Amino acid sequence: MTELDTHRANNGSIAMAIVAVANQKGGVGKTTVTMQVAAELSRRHRVLVVDVDRQQSTVWWAENASDRMPFDFAGSQHPNMLSRLRELRADYELVLVDTPGSLEDTAVLETVLDAADYALVPVTPEPLAVEPTLRTLSRLIEPRQLRHGVVLNRIDPRVPNQLETWQRLLDSDLGVPRLESYLRQYKVQADAPVLGQLVTTLRRNRRTEGPIADIAAIGRELEQLLSPELAGTW
Ligand SMILES: Nc1ncnc2c1ncn2[C@@H]1O[C@H](COP(=O)(O)OP(=O)(O)OP(=O)(O)O)[C@@H](O)[C@H]1O
Ligand SMILES: [Mg+2]
């Protein structure tokens, strides 16, 4: 192999990162985070979204869209395809996997976590979300020594101290790793699946600037977490 070939081979082997968006608590925003963050990251990276949830919410979301999704999309996939994806050295820098939020599908979730490089764990500021989230972390994520971060979703800025209270709960009381960035509760986010919308294609105005900024911040933080040495050069 010549020096040039070696150089090509190194550049050709893309360091793919598989991110599992996971929480066994239902309705905390896994599908929302998967789709919106995938759209944001697809501005700078080749992104694949994989849906292994029986509900196939991302497929439904995509079908409601008038435009093509800005990322590649693999709905109704068997989770085993994730390990094959890496063997094939498929041409993606980031793979986001939307996973089921029910205990019945634990086997599917475990297969995804086995293949993942990082677990992004959305959680809503509700007392009832805490226990299932901690169980997901302690039973499924921590035993795999899988890097992970909890991301707060549906923060309501009108509720005094809600953000600070939940940040403190995660940091001090529960001691779980957390993303600095978080998602606020917005009608734009609630309407997005049925309208097939992604915040990246919305016109920026008073109604949309909040959700656009939230998703942009999570995208940037995830890039840093996945590739500190590359942060800033993207
Ligand atoms: N930041 C937000 N602001 C407003 N609505 C939100 C926000 N995040 C999620 N939602 C809404 O909350 C509901 C649940 O979100 P989502 O479907 O993303 O959760 P999930 O974890 O994927 O649920 P499941 O466990 O059923 O798969 C959806 O109707 C979604 O539109
Ligand atoms: Mg979902």
The model's pLDDT over 209-232, given as tens digits with 9 standing for 90+, comes to 999 999 999 999 999 999 865 555
Query: In the numeric block, which tokens belong to residue 157?
Result: 């800025």
Report, as an integer, the average pLDDT of 96-110.
Answer: 92
Question: 20-65, pLDDT tens digit by residue?
Answer: 999 999 999 999 999 999 999 999 999 999 999 999 999 999 999 9
pLDDT at site 111 = 93
The ligand that comes nearest to the alpha carbon of residue 51 is 2
Task: Give which of 190, 229, 234 is closest to 210, Cα–Cα.
Answer: 190
The distance in angstroms from the start CA to the end CA of the chain is 30
Q: How confident is the model at residue 14 (pLDDT cuts 50, 70, 90)?
A: low
The region of weakest confidence among 44-58, 67-81, 96-110, 172-186 is 67-81
Provide the residue ranges of all domains of the chain, joining segments of one domain with +: 15-225
Closest CA to 188 of 180, 199, 177: 199
Q: Determine if ligand 1 sits within 6 Å of the CB of residue 183.
A: yes
pLDDT of 229: 55
3 state DSSP class of 195: helix
| 101 Cβ closer than 6 Å to some ligand 1 atom | yes
Determine whether the shortest distance from the Cβ of 182 to ligand 1 is under 6 A: no
**Which ligand is closest to the CA of 32, given by its number?**
1
CA 25/CA 121 separation, integer angstroms: 10
At 54, the amino acid letter reads R
Longest dimension (CA), the chain: 63
Instruction: Tell how far CA 100 is from the center of its chain.
Output: 13
Confidence grade of residue 4 (pLDDT, cut at 50, 70, 90):
very low
Q: Which CATH superfamily is domain 15-225 in?
A: P-loop containing nucleotide triphosphate hydrolases (3.40.50.300)
The identity of residue 128, as a single letter, is: L
Q: Is 181 in the pocket of ligand 1 (CB under 6 A)?
A: no
